[in-house]
Amino acid sequence: MQGLYALPPGLDFADCFVQGLLERMSDQPPEALARVTILTNAATTMGALRRAFDRAGPLLLPQIRSITGIDPGPLVMPDPPVPPLARRLQLARLIAQMLALRPDLGAGHSIPVLAQSLSQLMVEMQTEGRDLSDLEAIDTGDHARHWQNALAFFKIAADFHLKNSWEDRPARQRAASEAAARDWPQGIGLPQGPVIVAGSTGSHGATRLYMQAVAALPNGAVVLPGFDFDQPPPVWDGLERADDHPQARFAPLIATAGYPRRWTQAQPPSAARNRLVSLALRPAPVTDQWIAEGPALPDLVPATADLTLIEADQPGQEAETIALIMRDAAERGDLITLIAADSGLIRRVTAALDRWHIRPDDSAGRPLPLTAPGLFLRQVAALFGQPLTIDRLLILLKHPLTATGSTVIKRNDMLRETRELELQLRRNGPAFPDADTLADWATKGDETRKIWAEWLAAMLVRITALARDRGPRPLPDRLSDLMGLAQALAAGPAGDVDQSRLWQDKAGQMARAVLDHLAEHAGLGPDIGPGDFSALLVTELQAKAVREDVAGHHCLRIRGPREARLYAHGTVILSGLNEGGWPQHLSPDPWLSRQMRAAAGLPLPERQIGLAAHDFQQGIAAERVILTRAKRDAEAETIPSRWLNRLINLMSGLPERNGPAALTAMRNRGQHWLQLAEALSRPAQRSHSA
């Protein structure tokens, strides 16, 4: 067990990996397995491997760890890493000082968004082993003045941020990888037992360097997921320059460790379909190979017999059709996995399934900003620096968390008074309610209205003061204002915030933890205005998601594209296959242009397209696959995903392999589901007897 191994697309990676490992350990005593260390790329992979070992029977389990958690050790870096939030706030302070001198450099961006993008760029610098000297080598003579100014600031920020490598986890991972690559070949610091890297593509420099070091160990192995064994050697030779290709991440590993061997002899569900997809996804400079190799493909009708193509008219129809397919699988007890990159499509599908009271197992959960506490905090933060309109006030009063800590007024009474207030304000105004308006309205009702109006008038006094505060203020003060106002609104008249529902459930506890963590490091941040504070709040909340406590249907799973390597088996729905959906649009880099990134030795933006393409290649190799897209969105006609477009074009150009007939059959199978979904959405016709 030494060197580079791989599993082809379409196999259950976790089960096949465990099977191959147990076969290799079959001639050793049971305790030998406990000395094996398995390094994975993500927590989801760790969980899948543990479940696969459980299914394998009673065993002494190996050590399963995350490859991103490798560390050079306390002797090299004795101090613990600094929390990423603290580092982002330090960068935000630098950016705020820059914008005070050069506002044009941050036009159209908030300070938190700029700090987030700059932090991500620093992570790339650290994982790729780059430093200030690489930035100094960039020739900006042919670049616009904006890029020259941005690079000048980036050099200052990099000199500050990259100075102490022990402060950041990515830098520590890079240091550990460099130490392994340097010391292990000399026999220094060798691992005590076998080491296996499983499920990682080596997309980051630090991870790739460590994988190369492990593959060179006498008792080390690297097992790649979704490796294309159908790709000919000449394509691999030039693949390092094709960042948007699904297999490009494997090219550097092959260059150092050689061509991988099969980890097991398990075969994918359809080898013929894998050959078709492999040819369709060839790099753009060699698509002339379609003409040369296309006629050698097998008959495409049986190769695509388990492929279905659904082209809906609009996203709502796509979601309803997907929900109908998942309902059918639930009725038959068949396992089905929806893989989607578009969170909006996932919400539509979940809502469509809810009509039958079916709850799928969604691994992503609900983003914290979309939960009740997250929305409440965002709505309160939106009051800062903005005049209080009728709509803003009513949205806040009707929120299910408002005044839930009060014992002197019940929820139904509060909603009734809110409705009466809405009628009053809609009819008579004013457009911007204030405390005087509430005082006059309170005299025209009973004691309940008086209690409610007096409390609300006091809240409006606080809100009005915060609405007039539009200038930059210290971040701790902004956060204190948010916490104070949110808790007062949740407590209600003569209420207690601890008795309210603001921090009680899982989402509330998570939101409170986010705010407490932000408060702990707020002193490092800059003075910011209300708009930047709202952006910072959303950014921090967006990093968290809440999994529902209610168990989902055991047959229905919703997963993200990165989980395709673990769940792309059985029946799979690849949804949202439009440009901008899957793959998603590339985020612009406000700091370095594409040419500047290449000159600094940093990954190009197209790398994200290549990673998404690899997810697609693994997903489409499942036993049964349903491809879905919408022809239009809310604004205009959509463009099919580049991978789906390539597949359709290749099949259309191979009449001698029955490509057009196979494509028509795929669309006919999809049309069947579209017709069923349309019939289901149509109201039942009632017959009227004469």
Label each residue of 446-509 as H, E or C.
Answer: CHHHHHHHHHHHHHHHHHHHHHCCCCCECHHHHHHHHHHHHHHHHHCCCCCHHHCCCCCCHHHH
Using CA atoms, how far apart are residues 15 and 416, in angstroms rounded to an integer?
A: 57
Structure letter (DSSP) for residue 333:
T
Q: Taking the CB of residue 481, how many other CB atoms lie within 10 A of it? A: 21
- Please give the structure tokens belonging to residue 295: 């006629």
Q: Which two tokens stand for residue 643?
A: 């991978």
Q: How many CA atoms lie within 13 Å of 511's alpha carbon, on the beta-carbon side?
A: 27
User: 589 in the Ramachandran plot: left (φ > 0), alpha (ψ -120 to 50) or beta?
Assistant: beta
| Mode of pairing for the β-strands spanning 366-367 and 545-546 | antiparallel
Is 689's pLDDT higher than 70? no
Is there a single domain that holds both residue 385 and residue 353?
Answer: no
Residue ending a domain, among 492, 511, 546, is 546
The average pLDDT across 184-201 equals 93
Per DSSP, the three-state class of 230 is coil
- Residue 554 above 70 pLDDT? yes
- Looking at the fold, whether 521 and 585 belong to one and the same domain comes out as no
The answer to whether residue 469 scores a pLDDT higher than 90 is: no
- Rounded-to-integer distance, Cα 666 and Cα 658, Å: 12
pLDDT band of 317, cuts 50, 70, 90: very high
Same-domain check for residues 568 and 654: yes
Residue 421: partners with Cβ closer than 8 Å, 6 or more residues away: 394, 397, 441
Question: What pLDDT does 685 receive?
Answer: 67
Q: Give the amino acid at 155.
A: K
> Same domain, yes or no, for 636 and 559?
yes
Domain assignment of residue 663, given as a range: 295-365+551-681
Six token digits for residue 78:
């004795």
> Where does the pLDDT of residue 511 fall: very low under 50, low under 70, confident under 90, or very high at 90 and above?
very high
Least confident of 443-457, 497-511, 625-639: 443-457
Q: What is the percent of the chain where pLDDT is above 70?
A: 98
Q: What distance in Å separates the CA atoms of residue 191 and residue 289, rounded to the nearest whole number?
A: 45
* 404 located within any domain: yes
Give me the sheet containing 195-198, strands edge to edge: 63-66, 37-40, 195-198, 220-224, 3-6, 261-262
Residue 690: predicted pLDDT: 42
d(CA 368, CA 474) in angstroms, rounded, equals 25
Q: What is the reported pLDDT for 687?
A: 54
Domain-located, residue 668 = yes
Whether the CB-CB separation of 406 and 495 falls below 8 Å is answered with yes
> Nearest-CA neighbor of 257 among 212, 203, 190?
212
User: Is residue 566 within 8 Å of residue 13, measured between CB atoms?
Assistant: yes
CA-to-CA distance for 198 and 220, rounded, in angstroms?
Answer: 11
- The pLDDT, as a whole number, for residue 146 is 84
Cβ(36)–Cβ(193) under 8 Å?
Answer: yes
Per-residue pLDDT of 256-312, as tens digits, reads: 999 999 999 999 999 999 999 999 999 877 677 898 899 999 999 999 999 999 999
Name the E strands within 286-329.
307-312
Has residue 287 been placed in a domain? Answer: no
Kindly state the tokens that stand for 623.
């036993």
**Does any domain span residue 689?**
no
End-of-domain residue from the set 546, 577, 602: 546
Cα–Cα nearest to 474, from 525, 540, 520: 525
Summarised one tens digit per residue, pLDDT across range 203-243 is 899 999 999 999 999 999 999 999 999 998 888 887 877 88
Is 239 part of a structural domain of the chain?
yes
- Give the residue from 119, 128, 124 showing the smallest Cα distance to 95: 119
**Which DSSP state fits 259?**
S
> Average of pLDDT values for 340-347?
92
Asked if residue 273 belongs to a domain, the reply is no
Asked whether 420 and 445 are in contact (CB, 8 A), the reply is yes
Name the amino acid, one letter, at 335. L
How far is Cα of residue 604 from the mean position of the Cα atoms in its chain? 19
The backbone torsions φ and ψ at residue 448, rounded to the nearest 5 degrees and listed phi first, read: -60, -45
Structure confidence at residue 60 as a pLDDT band (50, 70, 90): very high
Answer yes or no: do 406 and 469 share one domain: yes
Please report the pLDDT score of residue 651 as a whole number: 95
Residue 289 included in any domain: no
pLDDT at 163 over 70: yes
Asked if residue 101 has pLDDT above 90, the reply is: no
Cβ 262 vs Cβ 232: under 8 Å: no
Gyration radius of the chain over CA positions? 29
Average pLDDT, the chain: 91
115 lies in the same domain as 192: no
Q: Beta strand 307-312 with 624-630: parallel, antiparallel or unpaired?
A: parallel
Q: At which of 114, 144, 164 does a domain end? A: 164
Q: What's the pLDDT at 64?
A: 96
Predicted confidence at residue 688, as pLDDT, reads 56
CATH number, domain with residue 618: 3.40.50.300
Alpha carbons 410 and 634: distance in angstroms, whole number: 41
C-alpha 103/C-alpha 109 separation (Å) is 10
Per-residue confidence (pLDDT) for residue 120, from 0 to 100: 94
Q: Is 219 exposed, middle or buried (CB count within 10 Å of its CB: 0-12, 13-18, 19+)?
A: middle
* Same-domain pairing of 387 and 251: no
Strand partners, 626: 308, 573
Residue 249 resides in a domain: yes
Same domain, 612 and 580: yes
- Candidates 104, 78, 96, 106; CA nearest to 166 is 78
Alpha helix locations (H) across 334-434? 343-354, 372-381, 390-397, 411-428
| Spatial distance between the Cα atoms of 80 and 74, rounded to a whole number of angstroms | 9
Residue 487 has pLDDT above 50, yes or no: yes
DSSP class per residue in 551-581: PPPTTEEEE-GGGHHHH-SSEEEE---BTBB
pLDDT over 60 (residue 171): yes
Taking a C-beta distance cutoff of 8 angstroms, is the pair 409, 403 a contact? yes
Distance between start and end Cα atoms, the chain: 82
Beta strand 624-630 with 571-574: parallel, antiparallel or unpaired? parallel
173-201 b/e (C-beta count within 10 Å ≥ 16 → b)? bbbbbbbbeeebeeeeebeeebbbbbbbb
Q: Residue 188: its pLDDT value, please?
A: 92
Residues 185 and 42 in one domain: yes
Contact (CB, 8 A) for 544 and 603: no
Are both 181 and 227 inside the same structural domain?
yes
Helix (H, G, I), strand (E, B), or coil: what is residue 101? helix
What is the number of structural domains in the chain?
Answer: 4
> At a CB cut-off of 8 Å and minimum separation 6, what does 250 contact?
6, 201, 202, 224, 227, 239, 260
H-helix or E-strand containing 525?
none
Are 668 and 555 members of one domain? yes
Strand ranges in 225-384 using DSSP code E only, listed in sequence order: 261-262, 307-312, 336-339, 361-362, 366-367
Pair (204, 253) in one structural domain: yes
pTM above 0.75, yes or no: yes
Q: What is the mean pLDDT of residues 506-529?
A: 95
Inform me whether the pLDDT recorded for 686 exceeds 70.
no
Please work out, in degrees rounded to the nearest 5, the angle formed at the alpha carbon of residue 429 by the alpha carbons of 425 and 434.
85
